[in-house]
Chain A
Amino acid sequence: MNLFKGNLLAIIGFIIISIILFVAIFAAFLSPYDPNYIDINSILLPPSYDHLMGTDGLGRDVLSRMLYGARISLFVGFVAVGIATLIGIFLGSIAGFYGGWIDSIIMRLVDIMLSIPSFFLILAVIAFLTPSIWNIMIVIGLTSWMGVTRLVRAEFLSLRQRDFVLASIVMGSSNKKVITKHLLPNSLTPIIVSSVLGIASAVLIESGLSFLGLGVQAPTASWGNILTDGKEYIQFAWWLSLFPGLAILVTVLGYNLLGEGLRDVLDPKNK
Chain B
Amino acid sequence: MKQIFLLILPLIFLISCSKNNSEVIDYNDNNFSSGGVLINAMSAEPSNLISMIAGDSASSAIASKIFNSLIRYDENLNFTSDIAESWKISKDQKTITFKIKKGLEWSDGIPLTSADVYFTWKLITNPNTRTPYGSDYTLVSQARTPDEHTFIVTYDDNYAPALDTWASLEILPKHILENEDINSTYFSRKPTGSNYYKLGDWVSGQQVNLIKSENGVLGKPYINKLTSRIIPDTSSQFLELSAGNIDLMNINPIQFKRVFPAKPKLKNRTALYKEMGNGYTYLGFNLKRKPFNDKRVRQAINYAINKEEVIKGVLLGLGEPISSPYKPGTRWNNPSLKPYAYSPKKALNLLKEAGYKMSADNFLVKDGKALEFEIITNQNKQREMTAVLIQRRLQEIGIKVSIRVIEWASFVNRFIKPGDFDVVVLGWSLSLDPDQFNIWHSSQQGPGQFNFVGYDNKKVDQLLEKGRRELDLDKREKIYHEFSQQLLDDSPIVYLYAGYGLTAVNKRIKGIKSPAPPAGIYHNSQDWYIPKSLRRNELTN
Q: Which residues of A contact B (CB under 8 A)?
A: 36, 38, 40, 43-44, 57-59, 127, 130-131, 213, 217-219, 229, 231-236
Contact = CB atoms under 8 A, between A and B. Distances in A.
B403 A218 contact: yes
B312 interface: yes
Given A38-B388, A218-B403, A235 B410 contact: no
B309 interface: yes
Interface string B227-242: 0000000110011001
Contacts of A218: 384, 387-388, 403, 405
B309 to A, nearest CB: 6
Contacts of A213: 379, 405, 407
B262 interface: yes
Contacts of A131: 404
A19 B252 CA distance: 39
Contacts of B312: 40
A234 B254 CA distance: 11
Contacts of A58: 313, 385, 388-389
Contacts of B293: none
A231 B405 CA distance: 17
19 contacts: A44-B254, A57-B254, A57-B381, A57-B385, A58-B388, A59-B313, A127-B407, A131-B404, A213-B379, A213-B405, A213-B407, A217-B404, A218-B384, A218-B387, A219-B391, A229-B381, A233-B254, A235-B238, A236-B259
Contacts of A233: 254, 258
B316 interface: yes
Given A40-B313, A58-B388, A232 B381 contact: yes
Contact of A235 (B235, B388, B402): B235
Interface string B250-284: 00101100110010000000000000000000000
Contacts of B384: 218
A130 B381 CA distance: 19
Given A40-B313, A232-B252, A235-B259, 4 more contacts: A127-B407, A130-B404, A217-B403, A218-B384
B249 to A, nearest CB: 13
Majority SS at the chain A contact face: loop
Given A38-B313, A43-B313, A127-B410, A219 B388 contact: yes
Interface in B143-196: none
Interface string B283-316: 0000000000000000000000000010011001
Q: A-B pairs with the 6 shortest C-beta distances? A: A40-B313, A219-B388, A218-B403, A236-B262, A235-B259, A213-B379
Nearest to B306: A40
B475 interface: no
Interface size class of B (residues with CB under 8 A): 20 to 34
A59 to B, nearest CB: 7
Instruction: Tell me which of A59, A231, A235 has the highest count of chain B C-beta atoms within 10 A of its own C-beta.
Output: A235
Contacts of A217: 402-405
Contacts of A234: 235
B536 interface: no
Contacts of A231: 235
Contact of A236 (B234, B258, B379, B410): B258
A178 to B, nearest CB: 49
A232 B235 contact: yes
Instruction: Tell me which of B242, B388, B389 has the highest count of chain A C-beta atoms within 10 A of its own C-beta.
Output: B388
Given A217-B403, A236-B259, A236-B262, A40 B309 contact: yes
Interface in B502-533: none
A25 B38 CA distance: 56
A234 B385 CA distance: 17
B102 interface: no
Contacts of B387: 218
Contact of B389 (A38, A127, A130, A232): A38
A118 B392 CA distance: 36
Interface string B381-400: 10011011101100000000
B403 A36 contact: no
Given A58-B313, A130-B404, A232 B388 contact: no
A234 B233 CA distance: 12
Contacts of A43: 313, 316
Contacts of B388: 38, 58, 218-219
A213 B381 CA distance: 10
B307 to A, nearest CB: 12
A21 B317 CA distance: 41
Contacts of A130: 404
Interface in B63-96: none
A171 B377 CA distance: 65
Nearest to B389: A38
B392 A44 contact: no
A131 B404 CA distance: 8
Nearest to B378: A213
Nearest to B233: A231
A234 B237 CA distance: 13
B244 to A, nearest CB: 15
Contacts of A127: 407, 410
A266 to B, nearest CB: 43
Contacts of B242: 235
A47 to B, nearest CB: 16
A58 B389 CA distance: 8
Contacts of B313: 38, 40, 43, 58-59
A218 B404 CA distance: 7
A190 B355 CA distance: 61
Interface string B307-332: 00100110010000000000000000
B389 to A, nearest CB: 6
Contacts of A219: 388, 391-392, 403
B352 to A, nearest CB: 27
A195 to B, nearest CB: 32
Nearest to B392: A38
A36 B393 CA distance: 12
A231 B259 CA distance: 14
Nearest to B313: A40
Nearest to B308: A40
Nearest to B234: A232
A263 B99 CA distance: 86
A232 to B, nearest CB: 6
A58 B309 CA distance: 11
B195 to A, nearest CB: 35
Nearest to B262: A236
B388 to A, nearest CB: 5
A217 B239 CA distance: 29
Contacts of A59: 313
A109 to B, nearest CB: 30
A219 B239 CA distance: 29
B241 to A, nearest CB: 10
Contacts of B239: 235
Contacts of B385: 57-58
A59 B238 CA distance: 23
Instruction: Tell me which of A40, A127, A130, A233 has the highest count of chain B C-beta atoms within 10 A of its own C-beta.
Output: A40
Contacts of A232: 234-235, 252, 254, 381
